[in-house]
Amino acid sequence: MSDAVIILLAGGFGYLLGSVPFGLIFTRFGGKGDIRDIGSGNIGATNVLRSGSKVLALATLLADAAKGALAVALVWRLGNDQAALFAGLAALVGHLFPVWLNFKGGKGVAVFIGAILIMSPFTGIVFLLVWLLVALAFRRSSLAAITAMVLSLPLLVFLGEIDTFGFTLLMVALSLWAHRENIARLRTGTEPKIGQ
C-alpha cells in the first residue's frame, strides 16, 4: 500500500473518530437533554459543565481527548509518521465539523490535547500546565486554551519537531477560528468564567 493511500485512509479514520459527538451523547443519556440548547450550544466539555454535571463534563473531556490520542496512536502503529500526524489533524477537523451534526461541532481543545500528548508528549505536558495556570489565574477556559495552544508552537520549534509543528500549526489555526466568538468576548471583557 502506498504512502499516499495510507495517509488518505488515516485521514478518513481520524475524521470519523473525531466526529463522534460525545458531549451530545453523554448529556442525552445523562438526562440533560440536547447540549446544543444549553449555554453556548457547543458540544464540548466546557459547555457540558454548564448543564450542571461535573461528571458528564469530565467524561466528555476524557472521551474527546481520547479521540485525538487514538487517532494518532493507532495510525502510528502502521509505521507512517506523516499519516499519524495527519490522522490527528483529521480528528480535530472531524470534531469541529462533524458530518452527523451538519458540520457544527466543538472547538477542538480536548482533541488537541489528546493528539499533542501523543505527537509530542513534552509539549502536551507543558500545554496542560499552561492551561491550568492560566485557568486558575483568570478563570476563563477559552483564554487558557488559546494561550496554551499558541505557546505550543514555539516550543515545538525549540524542540526541533518540525513535522509535528506543521500539523500543529494547522490545528491551532482551526481551533482559533472556532474560538473567534470567544476571542471577541475576551476583548470586550464579556467572556463567561469557568462554571458560569
What pLDDT is recorded for position 37?
85
Q: Which residues of the chain have pLDDT under 70?
A: 1, 195-196
What pLDDT is recorded for position 38?
82
What pLDDT is recorded for position 31?
84
What pLDDT is recorded for position 196?
62
Q: List pLDDT tens digits, range 165-185.
A: 999 999 999 999 999 999 999
What pLDDT is recorded for position 50?
84
What pLDDT is recorded for position 124?
97
| Rounded distance between C-alpha atoms, residue 144 and residue 30, angstroms | 28
